[in-house]
Every structure is written in structure tokens, then in C-alpha cells.
Structure 1
Amino acid sequence: MRPLDDIRVLDFSTLLPGPFASLMLTEAGAQVVKVERPGRGDEMRSYVPKFGEDSVNFALLNAGKRSIAVDLKAPDAVQRLRPLIAETDVLIEQFRPGVMDRLGLGYEALRLINPRLIYCSISGWGQSGPKALVAAHDLNYLAESGILGLSTGVDGAPVIPPVLISDLAGGAYPAVMNILIALRGRDKSNEGTYLDVSMGENLLTLAYWGLGNGFVADLWPGGSDALVTGGSPRYQIYRTADDRFLAAAPIEDKFWDNFCSIIGLDLVMRASSADHAAVTDAVGRIIAKKTAADWMAIFEGKDVCCSIVASLKDAVIDPHISARGVLARKISVDGRTIPALPVPLNEQFRGSKEAKPPRLGAHTDEILGN
């Protein structure tokens, strides 16, 4: 028995935030029905590389779900979906504000069909406010929330993050958290609710330390002047002799003392009062004298909080990842198998070791009838 075995989810979302949110619910046992456009389906299906007929991105994000193909603009769309809505626990959508209302599928309309429905809308800037209808993507939310300005290169220009932070940390994770809280609340009230998840707003939480410094001391951080944005030698990336990189984060004094002693940093440079830029340069010159392998051998077994920057390929073959079974679950398509997306759920909450993504509309007749 998985925690969400009795929960039915109707997912109108596409691409990343909503599908990843419903994937986490799927992994915990929820029965997720994905509503897609006839003919094309979720745009993610068309991406490359392919894994069977659809993209591997689609497979990773939608394994274990069922798919129905419905033209939401058709006159009978709401009527066709009505029986399914009546028995649904959670609905997820990520259209621009107002779209679901115009389709006759807004919360106020659907709560009349199902008063216990938990209706989750994921959008860039929420359902109201000056930015509610502005077209944007992950990078835009990062830029406008102040997060992107905290990550700069040596030339002072912001650096494009390698992961979609807004979609995941601002959208999918908060959506799941609020859905689970809403389900617990419904256990007490027997009533559903509406959830307004704003990806841009939720990003502000990630800069909690910067907000605190700004609100209390008017010390608003820039892109390279704070502890975790490159302003300290204790939280820095250093180049090694073989052009690899050492990520050094000996922030606390005990770790910094260990680190400095091991690399032989001059005593004057170790003091907290020393000029940070000068210390960073001094440490950089020392690290540049040895290879990445040399440094890892030197740091082995020592408490210094140092790592060599790995490639993604290196990361997935790390012995620790294998020992923990992080990639043990599989997705299979047309006889080919790859590791499933390692969603952040404890093993005891999850079910089958192997799942398949749905073909477009494969469950339409089964769920909605002819």
C-alpha cells in the first residue's frame, strides 16, 4: 500500500513543472491521468533525443501515467470530462491565468461538480497582479526575482544556470507540497480548495540569506560579493594544474583551519580579517600547482569540504549513487530500458521498479468511453 494509492489526479499540464509534480504523485501511488491535445499531445513528446516514438524527456517525466486525448475547445469537452472530474481528487494545470475559465474548466465551475476537488494552478507570477499574463520562461523568472543577478562570471555578467530552477524549485516542488497539505486539510474539512502556485514568487525563498541581510542591515548582495556568491575564499572554485576545478567550501572555522593547514596557506592569510580577494588569489595559486587527482588524494579522509567538479556522466557512475540504488528504477519503451528519473521520494513510498510512459491517448476509450 503506497501513501497515495487512493488519490486520483487529472493533469492538464505540459512540459516540465506540472508533469514533474504529477510524476512525484505517481511515484507515491497516485493514479494520474494526463489530458493531452489530440494529434500532437504534450509538446515535450516532440523533443529530441527520441526514446521510442516520443522524446526521452517525455518518458522520464510521464512514466507510470495514463493518457487521454481530448480537444478542450470542443463544445462537448466539459461534458465528456465531467464524470472523470467528479471522481478526481487533484487537478493540475499550468495555462496562463483565465484560460481554464474560458474553457469552462475553471475552479469555480468544477467545484460545483466536485466540491472535494483540490485544484492546483501553476503559473509564472500567479493568478493576479501586474505580471500575471506576461509571457516568460525559467530564465525570465530567475532574472526578475533577483536570483540570476546573484550568479555572475568573472566579467560580472550573469551566468545561465544549467538547471531549470524556476520550473522545479519554484513550481513543481511547491505544487506537490501544497497539494499534500491540501489533502491533509480535506481530511479534516471534507472540502477541496484552490492552490495558486507562482514560480517567480517562490524563487524569493531561495535567497533567504540575501533577504535577511537586506531587510535588517540594508546589505543587499550582488553577484560576487557575498559568502555564497564568490565573495569569499571559503566558498570558491579553484582551477587545478590539469585544468579541472576544485569546489572548495570550508566555510566553518574548523574546516577552514584544516584546509589552510593542508594546502600550506600562509598564517597571515588565514585570519578572518585578511583581504578576501588577496586570500582567494593566494589559494588559487596554490591549488593551480597540483592536479585534481593530486588534491583529492591529499584531501582524502580529511574534513575540508572539497570536491572536484564532476561531469554529469561522471556523477551517474559514482559508486555512492550505485550503492544507494539511486538509478535502480527503470523506464522501458519498445524493449529498451533506461534509468528512471530519481525523484526525491523515500523508497518505502514507491512501487514498481519499472514503468512505461503512455502513448498519446492510449487510455481515452478506457477512461472516457467512446
Structure 2
Amino acid sequence: MSGPLASLKILDFSTLLPGPFASLLLADMGAQVLRVESPGRMDLTRALPPHVQGSSASHAYLNRNKDSIGLNLKAPEALEVVKRLVQEYDIVLEQFRPGVMDKLGVGYDALRKINPRLIYVSVTGYGQTGPYRDRAGHDINYLALSGLASYTGRRDSGPVPLGMQVADVAGGSMHAVAGLLAAVIHRQQTGEGQHVDISMTDCVFSLNAMAGAACLAAGESPGLESTALNGGSFYDYYRTRDGRWMAVGSLEPQFMQQLCQVLGCPELVGKGLSPLQSDREMVKQRLQALFAEQDLAHWQEQFAAVDACVEPVLSLDEAIKHPQLQARGLVQQVPLGEGSQPQMACPIVFGSGLAAPRHAGKQLGEDTMRVLRGLGLSVEEIEGLRAAGALG
């Protein structure tokens, strides 16, 4: 049992979150991922707390099942190693600003001359073209420019910072995996490699989905709390007496009926999505008052056996222990050092199964000697590379 992507060999030059999360999914599904890390420019996730058993928990998770080679790409000798590697690792994933890899001598044009079948995936904030191609940015900037942040938040307080990096992961990581695998299928059919350009801003812009479609086709641009799904209706979070929250998604009539039956307000059935704003506001105010009368535990018990699309807002610690996630095997033990560490499992379930995780994120350059020996380099040649400052 090696996974459906066992035939893929990927050189991963990325750091932080977008690229590493993409290659984590690929590695979990069986791809052989070799991280190329700079000995002088540490991946900052290695320093991110908390540290458990001497390793950053974030780094140990994001770099699970990947090998590591330390290369100083500013040394000409290291570039020769990369050129030898791409003859075997024929997929490259990188996350530098446009032009950086070209300056280092390992851009797409340079490497495809060595291996015309090379698939080269670049993940950047704004893409390889356009006036913002060289501009710095972070997740919050991409969400802002994509329009998504403009209708995510509250009217009285404005846009809210989201709990996770939507542009980085849903935009960058997921689209990088999709683009990479599409390029693999194209190569299987044609024998041709190609450069895949992933802009996190482009990709998160596409995630506007229904709101974006309405804006383009009908000129309707949503605002804060202006639609049925962004706080403009009873579809929302409600505070309980003990300061916790319940999530209410009872949009369909049958679910709304169940909601109102549990809360004892049958008169609200049919008014939740009324075209009248006064009706919608009245329903929301009533639900706020009703949920505030009891603690979270009470409402959990009341809705436990009711199919009303009403659930408690769990802390991450509570979510980990939830019987549904437990039953789905979303937490697994991953070898780390002489012990193991609990980590989030690959969420994609294959009928043929996936191999058990081999190891958590490794030390920088832990596989350098083994990889170079596998390329046919002698011990003397490797020591020469080390003396030249090419290795980490």
C-alpha cells in the first residue's frame, strides 16, 4: 500500500504554508517529495512554537512524509546537483517571487532544457504576470484584493481576520495540487511538461463563487451582512447563556420547522428568509434572545437527535475529540524521533487505502548524503560539495 501518487517524484523548494501544505497532501497520497532547503535561510515554521520533542509542531505536520536535502543555491556546485535531480524528480514546486528562481539558475526555462517533461509549479501572491507580480503580500492582502473580505464580517465592526489562511491554503495549496495533477495527466497523454502559474489572489478570487457570479452577471456586489449566507439572515452564530455559540444553518423549510419546534417559536416558520428586512431582523433577534436563555450543554442536548442543521461551535480541542472526527480517523500517530506525535490525518479517503505515515518533518538536510549517493556521487565528491559551501 503506497498510495495513488507513488509514481510522482517532486522537488519542493517552498517554505512556510502554501507550498508545504500542497506537498503534504501529495506526500500523504504517496508522492516522493524531496524538500530542497537553504542552510542559510531557514524555513520559519521550524522556529514556530510550540515545540514538542525538539521540533515545531507546525513543521513536523506540514513536512510529514517528506525528505530533506540542504543546498545553498547561490553556490554553482549546488545548481549542478539540482540539474541532476530534475532528471529524476521531474516535478518542481516553488514559492519564490517571480524571477528569483531564474536568477538562481533553476527557473523553468533552464531546467526544462535538461528535462523537457518537467512540470514546474510556481505559487506566488499575484502570479507571474501583471503589475503586482513583484509586490509583497500575505493572506489578508489577497483576501482584501479579491473582494472576499468586503462581505465577510459585521456591519458595525467591518471585515474580520479569519481563523485560518484561506488564500494560502484554499487558494494556493489546493489549486497548486489540482494544477500539478492536471499537468501530470497532460504529460501522460502528450509527453509534454509545462509551467503552472498559481496566483493566490487569482485563486481566492475564484472562491467568491456565487457572489462573484452574481456580481459579474447582474452587477450585484454584496456587502457586510447583506446576503442569506453572510449574516444577513438567521443563518448565523448565536451566543448562549454561558458565552458559547451555536451555529444555525436551518435554511430549508423542513430544517427551519425543526429549529422552531425545539426553540418553541412556531410562529417564525416561513419568516426566516422573508423578502422583508423587518421580518429577517425580527427572526434573528428572537433567536438571539432564545439561545441566550440556556447554556451550550442544554442546546447540545436539545438538538442532538434533531435534524435541523444546528451544531455547537467547538474549540479545536473539542473538535479533535468529537465522535464524528474520531470515527473518520482524522487524528493519527506519526513517528517522530524515538516516539510519535498525534497529527491531523490526510482527509482524502481512498478505497484502496493509504500507507501509514512514515515520519514527521525531518531535520534540515537529514537526507542529503543518501540522496547524493543515490545520484551516483562518491563520498569524495560529496565532501567536495560540502567544502565548496554547496551543502547544508
Q: TM-score, normalised by structure 1?
A: 0.95
The aligned counterpart of 2:303 is: 299
The aligned counterpart of 1:239 is: 239
The aligned counterpart of 1:223 is: 224
Alignment counterpart, residue 312 of structure 1, candidates 312, 316, 319: 316
Supply the distance in 2 between the matched residues of 1:6 and 1:311 (Cα, whole angstroms). 39
What SS is found at the alignment partner of 1:167? helix
- Is 1:356 paired with 2:357? no
Cα deviation, residue 154, structure 1:
5.8
Flag structure 2 segments of 5+ consecutive residues without an equivalent. 383-392
Which amino acid in 1 is paired with 2:109? Answer: E
1:11-31 C-alpha deviation (Å, 9 max, x unpaired): 000011111111111111111
The aligned counterpart of 2:335 is: 332
Contact 1:12 1:36 in 2 (8 A): yes
Cα deviation, residue 168, structure 1:
0.5
Supply the distance in 1 between the matched residues of 2:266 and 2:331 (Cα, whole angstroms). 44
- Is 1:285 paired with 2:285? no
1:206-229 C-alpha deviation (Å, 9 max, x unpaired): 211111222233221111111111
Supply the distance in 2 between the matched residues of 1:341 and 1:300 (Cα, whole angstroms). 26
Contact 1:27 1:349 in 2 (8 A): no
Report the more deviating stretch, 192-201 or 298-307.
298-307
Contact 2:238 2:245 in 1 (8 A): yes
Aligned residues: 368
Contact 1:61 1:341 in 2 (8 A): no
Cα deviation, residue 117, structure 1:
0.7
Q: 1:273 to 1:222 in 2, by over 3 A?
A: closer
Supply the distance in 2 between the matched residues of 1:182 and 1:303 (Cα, whole angstroms). 42
Alignment RMSD = 1.7
Supply the distance in 1 between the matched residues of 2:264 and 2:156 (Cα, whole angstroms). 29
- Is 1:44 paired with 2:45? yes
Superposed, 1:1-370 pairs within 5 Å as: 1-39=2-40, 41-153=42-154, 155-233=156-234, 235-265=235-265, 267=267, 270-271=270-271, 272-274=274-276, 275-328=279-332, 330-347=333-350, 348-368=352-372, 369=377, 370=382
Cα deviation, residue 349, structure 1:
4.7
Cα deviation, residue 273, structure 1:
4.3
Supply the distance in 2 between the matched residues of 1:111 and 1:278 (Cα, whole angstroms). 63
Cα deviation, residue 108, structure 1:
0.8
Supply the distance in 2 between the matched residues of 1:153 and 1:295 (Cα, whole angstroms). 25
Which amino acid in 2 is paired with 1:286? Answer: L
Supply the distance in 2 between the matched residues of 1:153 and 1:183 (Cα, whole angstroms). 43
Report the more deviating stretch, 299-308 or 209-218.
209-218
Supply the distance in 2 between the matched residues of 1:97 and 1:40 (Cα, whole angstroms). 18
Contact 2:253 2:269 in 1 (8 A): no
Q: 1:245 to 1:87 in 2, by over 3 A?
A: same
Q: 1:16 to 1:349 in 2, by over 3 A?
A: farther
What SS is found at the alignment partner of 1:351? coil
Supply the distance in 1 between the matched residues of 2:264 and 2:219 (Cα, whole angstroms). 37
Supply the distance in 1 between the matched residues of 2:64 and 2:184 (Cα, whole angstroms). 23
What SS is found at the alignment partner of 2:154? coil
Cα deviation, residue 81, structure 1:
1.7
Flag structure 1 segments of 5+ consecutive residues without an equivalent. none
Report the more deviating stretch, 159-168 or 269-278.
269-278
Cα deviation, residue 300, structure 1:
2.6
Supply the distance in 1 between the matched residues of 2:270 and 2:115 (Cα, whole angstroms). 64
Report the more deviating stretch, 45-54 or 304-313.
45-54
Contact 2:329 2:345 in 1 (8 A): no
Percent of aligned pairs sharing the same letter:
38
Which amino acid in 2 is paired with 1:311? Answer: S
Contact 2:22 2:173 in 1 (8 A): yes
Which amino acid in 2 is paired with 1:344? Answer: P
Report the more deviating stretch, 156-165 or 264-273.
264-273
Cα deviation, residue 268, structure 1:
5.9
Which amino acid in 2 is paired with 1:305? Answer: C
Which amino acid in 1 is paired with 2:344? Answer: L
Q: 1:122 to 1:268 in 2, by over 3 A?
A: closer
Supply the distance in 2 between the matched residues of 1:300 and 1:36 (Cα, whole angstroms). 49
Supply the distance in 1 between the matched residues of 2:119 and 2:266 (Cα, whole angstroms). 60
Which amino acid in 2 is paired with 1:120? Answer: V
Supply the distance in 2 between the matched residues of 1:268 and 1:119 (Cα, whole angstroms). 56
Contact 1:149 1:223 in 2 (8 A): yes
Cα deviation, residue 352, structure 1:
2.1
Cα deviation, residue 299, structure 1:
1.9
Supply the distance in 1 between the matched residues of 2:222 and 2:364 (Cα, whole angstroms). 47
Cα deviation, residue 335, structure 1:
2.6
Q: TM-score, normalised by structure 2?
A: 0.89
What SS is found at the alignment partner of 2:208? helix
Supply the distance in 1 between the matched residues of 2:232 and 2:265 (Cα, whole angstroms). 18
